[in-house]
Amino acid sequence: MGEDFQRNQLKELKETALPCFQCGVCSSSCPVFRVSPELNPRLSVDSIISRGKVPSEGNEWLCAYCLMCDQRCPMGVSLAEILMVIKNISAREGKAPPDVIESAESLMADGCQSPISSRSEKQREDMGLPKLPRANPADVQMLFRATGAAEVVELNRKAVEEASE
């Protein structure tokens, strides 16, 4: 998988980004660019079209996936979706932010992204809310492993450990 997977994804990305004529409407509509110019969505497409490379700075993780760029692009290029694919590539390289990995681990543990505490269960009960049925943890883990996320989580855990050594 690994490299082939990446090469294919990059080829596809280049095709989706091709209609872009660098007008910059995406960047001027981006709420993150407004406060953190490190995320310039226009430049990330440019780098894919002209160099066939994902930008190396890792700024894709600054994208809030608010889809404003997607909404406004006059050429129908969805930078939000392109950045999502870039995040997938970056995660496979062990570059996912630690908090993102933590949320994924929580999902793997109890099927829910905000960890379910006994306090929150109690609060529900006090309000007269029903106990919500939960997915079988074995099923959750099976799907996690079979779809590649378990591997990505592990890879990123290792990257963090290596960096701290």
Binding site for another protein (CB under 8 A): 31-32, 34-36, 61-68, 70-71, 78, 84-85, 87-88, 91, 96-97, 99-101, 103-104, 107, 111-114, 116-117, 120, 123-124, 127-130, 132-136, 139-140, 142-144, 146-149, 152-153
Dihedral (CA of 118, 119, 120, 121) sign: positive
Residue with Cβ nearer ligand SF4 (64 or 135): 64
d(CA 132, CA 146): 26
Nearer to ligand SF4, 74 or 115 (CB): 74
Least distance (Å) between residue 93 CB and another protein: 12
CA atoms lying within 13 Å on the CB side of residue 15: 6
Q: Which of 34, 86, 33, 35 is nearest to 61 (CA)?
A: 86
Q: Are 21 and 12 in contact (CB under 8 A)?
A: no
Residue 48 partner contact from another protein, ligand SF4, none using kind-dependent CB cut-offs of 5 to 8 Å:
none
In the complex, least distance from residue 163 CB atom to ligand SF4, rounded to whole angstroms: 26
In the structure encoding, which two tokens stand for residue 136, read together?
A: 């079988």
- Tokens 């990305």 locate to 13
Phi, psi of 52, rounded to the nearest 5 degrees: 60, 30
Of the candidate spans 77-85, 97-105, 123-131, 138-146, the one that interacts with ligand SF4 by CB under 6 A turns out to be 77-85
Q: Is 86 in the site for ligand SF4 (CB under 6 A)?
A: no
